[in-house]
Amino acid sequence: MTLPQCDRTIRPFLYHFKKKIGHAVTLPDPLLFSKIGYNLKHLFSLQIENQIQYLRTQFDNNDTLGKITKIRCLQLQYDEWLSVSPTQQWNITMQPRFNRNIIAASLSLLQSQNITLTFNPKFDNTILGGQRPLSTVMGPSYNKPNIFTKFR
C-alpha cells in the first residue's frame, strides 16, 4: 500500500484512539507516533518492516522455500528482461503487473524508500552477451507499461 492508502486505512483507528484516551480529535498525529508521545508505529513503516522481514526469511531459507525463491527470481529476471538478477539490481518502480508477484512488489516498495538489501550470492545470475543492457539503451522508458508489453 502507498503512504496515502495507509493514511486512509489508519485514519479511523487514530480517531477512535484519540477519543478513547481523552484527547481532542484535532491532536496532531505526529504526537501519537513520536517517542515522547505514544510511540505508535505508522502502518506504512510497519508494512516496510514486514516486507524486509518477509524477504529475509524467504531468501535466507535453504530448504524448499529457498529453492522456490531462486526459481521465482529467475522467472522474474526473465519476465522483466533483466541482464542481472533482481537481487543484484532492481530499479523498477511499482507497476500494476506486480500485484501478483510479492518479490517484485517488495523490491519496488523498498526501492521507492531507498532501502537496499544484500542477498545471498546464490541468487546472483548474470546473462552474458550483448554490449549494453536493454534498460541502459532505452533509459527511463524501459519500464513503462506501454513499452514493456510490446517486448514479446
pLDDT of residue 72: 92
Q: Is the pLDDT of residue 148 over 70?
A: no
pTM of the model: 0.72
Q: Report in angstroms the alpha-carbon separations of 97 from 19, 63, 90.
A: 40, 28, 15
Tens-place pLDDT, residues 48-60: 899 889 888 988 8
CA dist., res. 140 & res. 138, Å (int):
7
Q: Is the pLDDT of residue 136 over 80?
A: no
Tens-place pLDDT, residues 86-117: 888 888 888 888 888 889 988 988 888 888 88
State the residue for C-alpha cell 531507498: 114
Q: Is the pLDDT of residue 152 over 60?
A: no
Tens-place pLDDT, residues 12-32: 999 999 999 898 888 888 888
- Identify whether the C-beta of residue 99 lies closer than 8 Å to the C-beta of residue 105: yes
Residue of 96 and 133 predicted with greater confidence: 96
